[in-house]
């Protein structure tokens, strides 16, 4: 499927032949048009980039860090759950004199992966991402308030504050802005402009470059050596020779357990879902019968449901936030029974581009939407703990009608344009 171009670009040399490769920031597979090699791009935690200086002449550079969060923010109150898609950068430095945001710099130039070649330069330490999230939210809320005032809208100052927030984002990166010092001034070496004057009492603390680079892993099946298939933004590759699935880690390729929902439709397209097991304390949600009672589903509880374990389902592909919640609830209620150790389906399998860790992050929000009564459940949301136990990739068949995909067991329809748009969330 085609992808749109609403992404940042990354400049990289092919590790095998040295040819130039331009990646989208959503790409997790490097595909070289010169030597035809395909490589998984892996990192220890999150990807780290630099904005290349316009002038390469400074011998010493100081790199100041910025967090980038690109994803969905769910804000749940007693009345409803609001959501919005955000793509923001915010300073991760402990010094307040640097710009609060990178602005349009990353869109105007191509980023580069942080490389050991920069080990002789200086890096300012970063504040943890969770520490800067409140500042990011304040900036966003302030911008929205100003926009409403400019439009002449009346602000609802009595609106309920959210009782729970979830940040679901495939993209959390660290981007370094290179600075140079000339006398008592900092200069932005990307825009070649004066940044600020250095206070006389300012003391800079630096951190050494650690193992911050990326690893490139051949996309060959570790079990049989076959070329694996998957689109460039996919986090999981499939080996159709030995029917296995693999994801990249910093130490190599790791096998992903998967299962398949059967269908007689030979032309079906398969969408990936995460099937999650979790321990949820304080609410007694241990069986499918408990789920029926919790969500007040219009079903007569069978005796065997009291012993039937419950699993939670979420899309393993990025999609608009409203559809993400709807699909998660429908699939969780359906409790489909996939076949373990099944061969990979012959039809097209859509990219797995949402990590399972993000799906676990969304579980409380999904439970809030399912709870009846909602008010009672959300009032104790802070005391509820969700402990991940297990996860499995499930390939669910959808019937392709041309403009949309239908899944009768989940009672779900999704348009092709929605899937296309979601790949760049």
Give the residue with greater pLDDT, 156 vs 100: 100
- Calculate the average pLDDT of the chain: 87
- What's the pLDDT at 148? 42
CA distance 243 to 259: 11
Angle separating helix axes 321-334 and 363-370, nearest 10 degrees:
70
CA 151 to chain CA centroid, Å, is 33
Confidence label for 378 from pLDDT (cuts 50, 70 and 90): very high
Tell me: pLDDT of 50 over 50: yes
- Helices vs strands, H then E, count in the chain: 8, 23
| Stronger pLDDT, 6 or 224, i.e. the higher one | 224
Residue 154, pLDDT score = 43
- Confidence check: pLDDT of 119 > 90: no
Segments of 283-329 assigned E as strands:
312-315
Residue, of 380 and 251, whose pLDDT is higher: 380
Which of 354, 296, 351, 284 shows the shortest CA–CA distance to 329?
296
Confidence at residue 170, expressed as pLDDT on a 0 to 100 scale: 60
At residue 295, the pLDDT reads 94
What does the block give as tokens for 300?
A: 């007569």
Predicted pLDDT of residue 144: 54
> Alpha carbon of 300 to those of 69, 296, 297, 303: distances in Å?
44, 10, 9, 10
From CA 242, how far away is CA 235, in angstroms rounded? Answer: 19
Question: Which is it for strands 312-315 and 269-280: parallel, antiparallel or unpaired?
Answer: antiparallel
- Sequence-ordered list of residues with C-beta below 8 angstroms from that of 298, at least 6 positions apart, any chain: none
**What is residue 46's predicted lDDT score, i.e. its pLDDT?**
87
Q: Are 214 and 41 in contact (CB under 8 A)?
A: yes
**Other Cβ atoms closer than 10 A to 149:** 11
Phi first, then psi: what are they for 366, rounded to 5°? -65, -40
Residue pLDDT, tens place only, 175-228: 999 999 888 889 899 888 888 888 877 888 888 877 778 999 999 999 999 999
What is the separation, in whole angstroms, between the first and last Cα of the chain?
15
**Distance between CA 317 and CA 334 in Å, rounded?**
19
Helix, strand, coil percent values for the chain (each to nearest 5): 20, 35, 45
357, pLDDT greater than 70: yes
Beta-carbon count within 10 A of 39 CB: 21
Contact residues for 217 (Cβ-Cβ < 8 A; gap 6+): 39, 40, 42, 248, 252, 253
Closest CA to 49 of 95, 118, 129: 118
pLDDT at 159: 55
What is the Rg, in whole angstroms, of the alpha carbon atoms belonging to the chain? 24
Confidence label for 423 from pLDDT (cuts 50, 70 and 90): confident
Q: Which of 171, 164, 87, 214 is nearest to 355 (CA)?
A: 171
For the segment 325-347, the average pLDDT, to the nearest whole number, is 91
Provide φ and ψ at 221, rounded to 5°.
Answer: -60, 125
Question: Is the pLDDT at 116 greater than 90, yes or no?
Answer: no
- 97-126 burial, b at 16+ Cβ within 10 Å, e below that, comes to ebbeebeebbeebbbbbbeeebeebbbbeb
Note whether 395 and 259 are within 8 A (CB).
yes
pLDDT of residue 141: 64
- Residues 257-296 have pLDDT tens digits of 999 998 888 889 999 999 999 998 888 898 999 999 999 9
Task: Convert the pLDDT of each residue in 360-374 to its tens digit.
Answer: 999 999 999 999 999
> What are the residues facing 176 on neighbouring strands?
50, 65
């Amino acid at each position: 499927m085609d992808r749109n171009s609403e992404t940042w670009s990354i400049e990289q040399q092919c590790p095998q032949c040295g040819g130039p490769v331009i990646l989208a920031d959503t790409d997790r597979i490097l595909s070289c048009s010169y030597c035809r090699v395909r490589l998984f791009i892996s990192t220890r935690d999150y990807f780290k980039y630099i904005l290349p200086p316009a002038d390469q002449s400074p011998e010493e550079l100081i790199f100041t860090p910025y967090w980038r969060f690109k994803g969905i923010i769910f804000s749940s109150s007693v009345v409803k759950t609001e959501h919005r898609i955000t793509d923001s950068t915010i300073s991760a430095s402990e010094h307040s004199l640097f710009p609060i945001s990178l602005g349009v710099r990353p869109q105007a130039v191509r980023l580069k992966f942080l490389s050991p070649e920069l080990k002789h330069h200086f890096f300012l330490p970063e504040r943890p991402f969770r520490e800067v999230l409140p500042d990011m939210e304040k900036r966003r809320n302030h911008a929205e308030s100003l926009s409403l005032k400019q439009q002449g809208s009346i602000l609802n100052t009595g609106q309920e504050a959210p009782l729970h927030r979830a940040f679901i984002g495939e993209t959390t990166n660290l981007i370094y802005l290179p600075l140079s010092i000339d006398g008592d001034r900092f200069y932005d070496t990307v825009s070649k402009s004066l940044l600020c004057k250095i206070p006389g009492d300012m003391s800079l603390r630096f951190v050494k470059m650690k193992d911050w680079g990326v690893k490139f892993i051949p996309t060959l099946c570790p079990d049989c050596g076959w070329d694996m298939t998957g689109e460039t933004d996919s986090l999981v590759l499939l080996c159709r020779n030995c029917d296995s699935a693999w994801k990249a880690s910093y130490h190599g390729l790791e096998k992903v357990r998967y299962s398949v929902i059967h269908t007689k439709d030979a032309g079906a397209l398969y969408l990936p879902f995460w099937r999650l097991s979790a321990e949820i304390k304080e609410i007694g949600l241990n069986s499918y019968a408990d789920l029926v009672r919790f969500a007040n589903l219009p079903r007569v509880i069978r005796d065997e449901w009291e012993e039937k374990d419950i699993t939670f389902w979420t899309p393993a592909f990025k999609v608009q936030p409203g559809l993400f919640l709807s699909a998660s609830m429908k699939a969780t209620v359906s409790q489909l029974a996939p076949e373990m150790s099944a061969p990979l389906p012959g039809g097209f399998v859509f990219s797995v581009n949402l990590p399972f860790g993000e799906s676990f992050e969304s579980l409380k929000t999904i439970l809030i939407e399912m709870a009846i009564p909602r008010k009672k459940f959300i009032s104790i949301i802070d005391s509820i703990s969700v402990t991940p136990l297990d996860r499995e990739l499930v390939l669910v068949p959808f019937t392709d009608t041309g403009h949309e995909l239908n899944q009768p067991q989940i009672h779900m329809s999704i348009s092709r344009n929605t899937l296309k748009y979601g790949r760049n969330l």
